[in-house]
């Protein structure tokens, strides 16, 4: 088991990283502005679930490989950044459909797609990968054994805090969206803003370093 003091110290360190908006948060905000509260929640759920990918990789030793391979890290970063830019462009192109979307129910397959998109963002988020690979192992206690279990436990604390913080950001954005939704012109602005935010996140990911 992870010592309580280690778990509390890790939670404090994780919160400092989590509350600063990164790819997951900004993606959820973009979806909240573009598609509303339901899509924002699904984006957060997808992002948190996607974060399990680097967590499991680190817990079972792949994190060290990833952090040691500049080329592998670059590939992960480029894939995630390209996907975000693609989604941002699509959001801008479909901005005029927002008014119609507000007056109709969102099909269930759209919900699955939004969740899946959020999953990809969470799984390829460089900030999460770096944090899990470089910071997470420092709070485990190898002398207690069961290191993978310790890393998974700490990682789940991170994911719980991430879900709380990301949902807070997304709900604030969704609330602001309701004001814009009163006008078709405002809605187009919302769609463009959400798309630009997502593109910005993708560009930021592409230009960011692992340090």
Residue ranges per structural domain of the chain: 25-207
H or E, element range at 32: helix 23-35
Helix (H, G, I), strand (E, B) or coil at 152: helix
Cα–Cα dist 143/145, whole Å:
5
The confidence band for 104, taking pLDDT boundaries of 50, 70 and 90, is very low
Question: Per-residue pLDDT for 64 more than 70?
Answer: no
The confidence band for 62, taking pLDDT boundaries of 50, 70 and 90, is low
Question: Per-residue pLDDT for 166 more than 80?
Answer: yes
pTM here is 0.70
Please report how many Cα atoms fall inside a 13 Å half-sphere around the Cα of residue 4, on the Cβ side: 0
């Amino acid at each position: 088991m992870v010592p309580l003091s280690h778990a509390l110290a890790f939670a404090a360190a994780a919160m400092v990283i989590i509350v600063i908006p990164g790819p997951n948060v900004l993606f959820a905000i973009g979806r909240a502005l573009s598609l509303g509260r339901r899509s924002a929640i699904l984006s957060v759920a997808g992002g948190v679930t996607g974060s399990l990918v680097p967590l499991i990789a680190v817990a079972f030793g792949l994190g060290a490989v990833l952090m040691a391979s500049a080329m592998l890290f670059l590939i992960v970063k480029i894939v995630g950044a390209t996907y975000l830019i693609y989604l941002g462009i699509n959001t801008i192109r479909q901005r005029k459909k927002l008014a119609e979307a507000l007056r109709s129910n969102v099909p269930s397959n759209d919900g699955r797609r939004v969740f899946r998109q959020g999953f990809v963002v969470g799984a390829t988020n460089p900030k999460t990968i770096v944090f899990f690979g470089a910071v997470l192992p420092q709070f485990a206690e190898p002398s207690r054994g069961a290191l993978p279990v310790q890393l998974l436990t700490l990682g789940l604390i991170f994911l719980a805090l991430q879900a709380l913080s990301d949902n807070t950001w997304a709900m604030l954005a969704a609330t602001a969206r309701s004001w814009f939704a009163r006008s078709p012109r405002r809605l187009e602005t919302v769609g463009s803003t959400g798309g630009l935010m997502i593109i910005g996140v993708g560009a930021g990911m592409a230009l960011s370093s692992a340090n």
